[in-house]
Homo-oligomer: A and B are copies of this chain.
Amino acid sequence: MAQSIFLSASVKPQLSFKVEFRAKRLEKLLDTPARIYYKYEGGSPAGSHKPNTAVPQVWYNAHQGVKNVVTETGAGQWGVRWLLRAACLISTVWQVRASYDQKPYRKLMMQTWGAKVHPSPSNITQAGRKILENDPSSPGSLGIAISEAVEVATKNADTKYCLGSVLNHVLLHQTVIGEECIKQMEAIGETPDVIIGCTGGGSNFGGLAFPFIREKLSGKINPLIRAVEPAACPSLTKGVYAYDYGDTAGMTPLMKMHTLGHDFIPDPIHAGGLRYHGMAPLISHVYELGFMETLAIAQTECFAGAIQFARSEGLIPAPEPTHAIAATIREALHCRETGESKVILMAMCGHGHFDLPAYDKYLQGGLVDLSFSEERIKASLANIPQPGLKQTV
């Protein structure tokens, strides 16, 4: 333990900040016999788990001689993290309009690091202009922002597009989270009974869960693995499992995944990083195989849990992991009823330093649960392409 304090100067920031804590004060507050552990990824310079994949992606691009990189961001977290290392390249980021307006500090952070940041939908791309024609006040979505960034990459030979979630290589990079957790839990002699993470595109959740699923399949442990999504964008709990586009304009290859339809635009909840119509194909597959379970929680319950967490544990979570926190609190309260001393392991994937206006709104009573429109989902599901007719990845 003493050694852990005196980190060598050669330790890389993105590694040394990834720590796991026991939420003893939260346990006490909830009066639960459960033991709650959380993996905190918010201590990285950019404040979330995203550098785990931003660093290798930039590294490969830089070594290939790529000069410009483009990407999108929903919450500003991926965008921010991207910039962290992309400072050596010229970077352009399309930030979803809802997040661009709600989280000006994330934009400023990217600009401080030297990026160009556009709100999405923008007038710069054909995809953006098309959306704005139909709805000039569109809050945007990750799907639209991806279309814009991809369009620019396809039109410029020296430019590469990079994605912060969903794809296989991103989930692979993020498994460092779960691998570390396995070692950390072993080191303190604990075995998780329930593993909880929030899901948008799925990289944080997959990064935590997949190494544990490997252990589960090998028969070593048998934890429940639980994904938590926002009630306003429930691709796993209310979507269909089908081939669909990763972006709104239909520029990406088709992917087999749980989807609400590629032109579904979720309401502008504060967890911008979870506002994605689809789900990582790998997570969708694992879900179909029955290796994990899902639930959807609305944002007021999430912020209520986040306040309990912040006031007991000191860390203020980003809106995304508040979903994992709310589900953890549900489980811990269930343990209080049953008397079970379950070990809960939760992904606390980023801090909420740039989301404080959302906390303010919640504390002032102004935060509401945005309804999930069955009508809208029916309409967007109708636009999913028919399987077998298009290319697939």
Q: Which residues of A contact B (CB under 8 A)?
A: 1, 3-11, 13, 15-22, 37, 43, 45-47, 84-85, 87, 104-105, 108-109, 111-114, 180, 183-184, 187-188, 190, 307, 310-316, 353-354, 356-357, 359-360, 363
CB-contact partner of A6 in B13, B180, B314, under 8 A: B180
A15 touches B5 (CB 8 A): yes
B17 touches A21 (CB 8 A): no
Known: A111-B360, A353-B105, A353-B353. A4 touches B3 (CB 8 A): yes
A37 cross-chain contacts in B, Cβ below 8 A: 9
A187 touches B6 (CB 8 A): yes
Task: With a 10 A CB-CB cut-off, give which of A8, A184, A314 has the most chain B CB atoms.
Answer: A314
B112 touches A316 (CB 8 A): yes
Shortest CB–CB separation between residue A224 and chain B, in angstroms?
20
CB-contact partner of A16 in B5, B307, B314, under 8 A: B5
Shortest CB–CB separation between residue A308 and chain B, in angstroms?
11
Per the bound structure, the CA–CA distance linking A294 and B18 in Å amounts to: 37
A112 cross-chain contacts in B, Cβ below 8 A: 307, 310-311, 316, 356, 359-360, 363
Task: With a 10 A CB-CB cut-off, give which of A3, A8, A15 has the most chain B CB atoms.
Answer: A8
Shortest CB–CB separation between residue A311 and chain B, in angstroms?
5
A16 cross-chain contacts in B, Cβ below 8 A: 4-5, 19
Shortest CB–CB separation between residue A342 and chain B, in angstroms?
16
Question: Can you give 20 contacting A-B residue pairs, CB < 8 Å?
Answer: A3-B4, A4-B16, A7-B184, A8-B184, A9-B20, A10-B22, A17-B19, A45-B314, A46-B314, A47-B353, A87-B312, A105-B356, A108-B356, A108-B357, A108-B359, A109-B356, A111-B359, A111-B360, A112-B311, A353-B354
A18 cross-chain contacts in B, Cβ below 8 A: 5
A3 cross-chain contacts in B, Cβ below 8 A: 3-4
B180 touches A310 (CB 8 A): no
A17 cross-chain contacts in B, Cβ below 8 A: 17, 19, 43
A360 to B, closest residue via Cβ: B108
A47 to B, closest residue via Cβ: B353
Per the bound structure, the CA–CA distance linking A13 and B22 in Å amounts to: 10
B15 touches A184 (CB 8 A): no
Per the bound structure, the CA–CA distance linking A5 and B179 in Å amounts to: 11
A35 to B, closest residue via Cβ: B9
Known: A108-B360, A112-B316, A360-B108. A19 touches B7 (CB 8 A): yes
- Top 9 A-B pairs, shortest CB-CB distance: A108-B356, A45-B314, A353-B353, A9-B22, A7-B19, A43-B43, A112-B359, A4-B7, A105-B356
A1 touches B9 (CB 8 A): no
A311 cross-chain contacts in B, Cβ below 8 A: 87, 112-114
Given contacts A5-B16, A13-B314, A17-B43, 17 further A-B contacts (CB under 8 A): A1-B10, A1-B11, A4-B7, A4-B8, A5-B180, A9-B21, A9-B190, A10-B22, A16-B19, A17-B17, A45-B313, A87-B311, A87-B312, A105-B354, A108-B357, A112-B360, A112-B363
